[in-house]
């Protein structure tokens, strides 16, 4: 049985964080002053095992899940993650198995991920300028290495590669058109993302948000665009194609044009907490159920009850006060 939540939304997407660790310290996700040398990440025994993750994914397909995305932290920091990919790829019912990565380890891992059964990758890259990129990732990691990973993914068949750029006013907003131009005609799909108030430590201010309309206008002014329909119900990005037929871009407008009404996503943290929203303030402990001998029926019932009671509309009701809520960090819940 496929459950519906209190707004009639059905479960279709499962996002699985496989680790809370990352080798970047992006300002909008894991600022170094919070996630410094003394920060205590999850101990290995607290992480869900690959067998446990596979089981949750298998049970979830019976509830309507058709898409699974592996996230983090940085998922390629999870040892032998290709084994997990292979396990999930073998499950009947999963039509799309993807991963979001910062691309730092992708050049050396893309072929193995494809062989294991991964369908596609999304790579986070916030600037093509090394100085700006280093300032944003706070890890002195070069753009060229990420671009190498993107090309390795394309060569391995993990296509179309989507390239996510979080746009922040005064930091990288002047690069929007150049960023689009760089990937135009390559087959890769750029997705511009409005800077969001995820977690409690990224110092989000509404004044730092560049609206999706302004982003699209900047691209359209130099490379004319026309709107495209969504690929599937619940797609978060508004799609636009170049009028000359050389590709498409997308924009994720969680702040200025919320899409809560079509949200079909459930999130599983690395230690087995279930969250019904990227902006959640609390979760539900699935790991305890898994490790206390619950059968598949009990796991399915647990997930069904969570989804059926879901009423999340954070982005639709966002106010200056909601920013003070004790939200879960994005590095922990997955993007």
* Among 302, 272, 284, CA closest to 48: 272
Question: Residues in the chain with pLDDT < 50?
Answer: 199, 201, 319-322
* Among 20, 30, 322, CA closest to 202: 30
Cβ contacts of 83 within 8 Å, gap of 6 or more:
50, 116
Give the Cβ contact number of residue 224 at 10 Å.
Answer: 12
CB 86 within 8 A of CB 33: no
Q: What is the pLDDT of residue 262?
A: 80
| Cis before 143 (ω within 30) | no
Distance CA 8, CA 174 (A): 40
DSSP assignment of 91-109 equals STT--EEEEEE-STTHHHH
* Among 39, 102, 43, 54, CA closest to 76: 102
pLDDT in tens, 199-228: 454 555 667 889 999 999 999 999 999 999
The backbone torsions φ and ψ at residue 183, rounded to the nearest 5 degrees and listed phi first, read -100, -5
Distance CA 94, CA 123 (A): 21
Tabulate helix, strand, coil % of the chain (nearest 5). 35, 20, 45
**185 three-class SS:** coil
Distance CA 127, CA 143 (A): 8
Distance CA 315, CA 112 (A): 37
The pTM of the full predicted model, rounded to 2 decimals, is: 0.91
CA 238, 267, 302: angle at the middle one, nearest 5?
135
* Among 181, 246, 193, 182, CA closest to 219: 181
The backbone torsions φ and ψ at residue 69, rounded to the nearest 5 degrees and listed phi first, read -120, 130
CB 280 within 8 A of CB 327: yes
Cβ contacts of 271 within 8 Å, gap of 6 or more:
20, 42, 46, 47, 48, 287
Return the bridge partners of 166, or none. 193
CB 318 within 8 A of CB 197: yes
Q: What is the pLDDT of residue 3?
A: 92
Per CATH, the homologous superfamily of domain 13-333 is Aldolase class I (3.20.20.70)
Q: What is the pLDDT of residue 322?
A: 47
Give the Cβ contact number of residue 209 at 10 Å.
Answer: 21
Residue 143 to residues 96, 147, 158, 193, Cα–Cα distance (Å): 28, 6, 20, 19
CB 22 within 8 A of CB 245: no
Q: What is the pLDDT of residue 36?
A: 85
CB 239 within 8 A of CB 227: yes
């Amino acid at each position: 049985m496929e459950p519906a939540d209190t707004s009639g939304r059905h479960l279709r997407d499962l996002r699985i964080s496989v680790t809370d660790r990352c080798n970047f310290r992006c300002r909008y996700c894991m600022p170094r002053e919070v996630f410094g040398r003394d920060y205590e990440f999850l101990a290995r025994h607290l992480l869900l095992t690959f067998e446990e993750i596979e089981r949750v994914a298998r049970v979830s397909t019976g509830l309507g899940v058709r898409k699974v995305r592996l996230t983090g932290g940085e998922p390629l920091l999870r040892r032998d993650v290709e084994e997990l990919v292979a396990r999930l790829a073998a499950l009947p019912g999963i039509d799309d198995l993807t991963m979001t990565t910062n691309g730092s380890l992708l050049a050396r891992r893309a072929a193995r991920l494809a062989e294991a059964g991964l369908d596609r990758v999304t790579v986070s890259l916030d600037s093509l300028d090394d100085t700006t990129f280093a300032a944003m990732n706070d890890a002195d990691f070069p753009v060229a290495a990420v671009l190498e990973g993107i090309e390795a993914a394309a060569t391995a068949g993990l296509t179309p590669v989507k390239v996510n750029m979080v746009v922040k006013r005064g930091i990288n907003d002047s690069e929007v058109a150049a960023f689009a131009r760089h990937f135009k005609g390559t087959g890769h799909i750029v997705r511009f993302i409005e800077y969001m108030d995820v977690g409690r430590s990224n110092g989000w201010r509404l004044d730092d948000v560049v609206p999706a309309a302004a982003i699209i206008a900047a691209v359209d002014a130099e490379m004319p665009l026309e709107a495209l329909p969504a690929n599937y119900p619940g797609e978060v990005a508004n799609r636009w194609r170049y009028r000359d037929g050389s590709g498409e871009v997308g924009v994720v407008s969680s702040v200025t044009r919320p899409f809560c009404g079509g949200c079909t996503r459930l999130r599983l943290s690395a230690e087995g907490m279930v969250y019904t929203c990227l902006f959640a303030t609390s979760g539900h402990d699935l790991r305890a159920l898994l490790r206390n001998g619950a059968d598949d029926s009990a796991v399915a019932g647990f997930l069904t009850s969570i989804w059926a009671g879901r009423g999340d509309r954070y982005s639709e009701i966002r106010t200056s006060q909601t920013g003070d809520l004790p939200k879960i960090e994005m590095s922990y819940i997955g993007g």
